[in-house]
Amino acid sequence: MRVNDVSLMRYIQQLSLERKAPTPGSFLFNTVSELTIQQKLRGQIEGYKTTLSQIYNGIGLLNTADSGLESISTSLQRARELAVQASNATLTDVERSMTQKEYEEIMRGVKRIIQQTTYNEQRVLAGDVRNLVIQTGPNEGQNVTVNIPNLEETLSELFEVDLSTFEGAQRSLETIDQALENISQIRGNVGSWMNRLESSARSVMNSYTELFKTESLFEPNVAELLLESTKEDILRQTALTGILFRMENAGNVLKLLM
């Protein structure tokens, strides 16, 4: 995962550290105004908790997309090698035919990656992730919009390449180079979105920690239970994100070799 597990654990640990013991009379307030403040704090805590979950889901989705894009890029590098070989005018018809067959097999693999790279039932490289808004804070306007194009459309010219002739092989080099450039640009966008989400996760966790400290002044025992529950939820969410990413990454490698 791109998320630094050690740093994340430190953030989670902050939820239970540095909490000062309340002085007599500093909690168990009974006035209506104090109860309203407490309820407002709990609402904010839940808002941050939900936001954090959305952020890590977004990171998991982007990790999955990047894994698929990396596999496609590797496939296209091999396709380019074949195009260079086919550009050799001395190749026999049999050699050209074999080169074309291997190229077509690579393209079938690329299509499989596009269709089968999924996160939470979304085909992240096949057009399902369009104008996806990921909340990065508890307030309006705090979000990141993710757009990942349908790669079958973006790379459509690749699937029409013909290496069985010298002229076709020559033309294919420009087509493949353009495809590699497109993939590189999309990966750059994915990386940028991921950096923003990771930064937002750190900010949300800091705010979340401070709210828990304040909440603990009202009802320490209740706050402690909420804290433990939230820690478990975050750890579970983080573990799930990591497992999905590793499974998708391994799966894409296997698809590439099929």
In terms of DSSP bridges, do strands 118-119 and 122-123 run parallel, antiparallel, or are they unpaired?
antiparallel
The neighbour count for residue 27, using CB atoms within 10 Å, is 16
Which letter, b or e, does each residue of 196-230 get, where b requires 16 or more Cβ atoms within 10 Å of its Cβ? Answer: bbbebbeebbebbbebbeebbbbbbeebeebbeeb
Helix (H, G, I), strand (E, B), or coil: what is residue 132?
strand
Res. 41: pLDDT tops 90:
no
State the pTM of this model.
0.71
Q: Which residue has the higher pLDDT, 47 or 233?
A: 47
The pLDDT of residue 258 is 40
Q: Which residue has the higher pLDDT, 247 or 152?
A: 152
- Give tens-digit pLDDT for 84-99: 999 988 888 889 999 9
**Residue 171 binned pLDDT confidence (cut-offs 50, 70, 90):** very high
Res. 1: pLDDT tops 60:
no
| CA–CA gap between residue 130 and residue 148 (Å, rounded) | 6
| CA–CA gap between residue 88 and residue 131 (Å, rounded) | 44
Res. 39: pLDDT tops 80:
no
The pLDDT of residue 35 is 61
| CA–CA gap between residue 257 and residue 78 (Å, rounded) | 12
Is residue 125 within 8 Å of residue 117, measured between CB atoms? yes
Alpha carbons within 13 A on the beta-carbon side of 132? 21
**Residue 232 binned pLDDT confidence (cut-offs 50, 70, 90):** low
The pLDDT of residue 224 is 54
- Give tens-digit pLDDT for 131-164: 999 988 877 888 999 999 999 999 999 999 999 9
Give residue 134's Cα distance to chain centre: 11
Domains and CATH numbers, the chain: 45-201 (1.20.1330.10)
Task: Provide the mean pLDDT of the chain.
Answer: 77
The pLDDT of residue 236 is 57
- Residues making up the chain, counted from first to last: 258
| CA–CA gap between residue 90 and residue 167 (Å, rounded) | 13
Q: Which residue has the higher pLDDT, 52 or 79?
A: 79
Q: Which residue has the higher pLDDT, 161 or 49?
A: 161
Res. 3: pLDDT tops 70:
no
Token pair in block for residue 209: 């920690």
